[in-house]
Amino acid sequence: MRGADVVAATTHATEPVVLREWLEPGVHVNSVGANPAGAGEVDPAIVRDAAVVAVEYRESTLAPPPAGASEFRDGAPSEVVELGELVAGSKPGRTSPEQISLYKSVGVAVQDAAAAALVLAAARERSVGREIELEESR
């Protein structure tokens, strides 16, 4: 991870697999994995040091486990921004290239369904991909 601009973790780890000491200034960390029984896949020092902590939806991410992010079990960072706020420009992203940023996903099913519908519509419009029929199993 040393020297990386982006680090991505998608694990079921019960202990951090991404440690702060391995990260360089300016890195962005994506954390998608979850294990409600554990401490989370990201070192608490990364959560503490991140200038920007982004999530899909604040309420679901900050909910107590098993629903929320294990990384925030002992307290959330002072500022947690939603991706929509960053995109809309209502909340700032990084203010310097040296800042660490973190995206912690816990998933929001309605957003996943909306994204899938948009991708499907775009594929149909462009006549790309292949649709298959699934048979109901008995």
Q: What is the pTM of this model?
A: 0.79
Separation of alpha carbons 18 and 1, rounded Å: 8
Q: What is the domain-level CATH number for residue 62?
A: 3.40.50.720
| Span 61-117, pLDDT tens digits | 999 878 889 898 877 787 899 999 999 999 999 999 999 999 999 887 787 888 889
Greater confidence, 3 or 110?
3
In a domain, 136, yes or no: no
In a domain, 16, yes or no: yes
The pLDDT value given to residue 7: 98
Greater confidence, 137 or 110?
110
Domain extent, residue 74, equals: 6-126
Per the structure, the count of domains in the chain is 1
In a domain, 137, yes or no: no
In a domain, 83, yes or no: yes
DSSP secondary structure string for all residues of 65-128: TTTS-GGGTT---S-EEEHHHHHHTSS---SSTT--EEEE----HHHHHHHHHHHHHHHHHHT-
| Span 67-80, pLDDT tens digits | 889 898 877 787 89
Number of neighbours of residue 64 by Cβ within 10 angstroms: 10
Q: Partners of 6 in the beta sheet?
A: 28
Separation of alpha carbons 18 and 125, rounded Å: 40
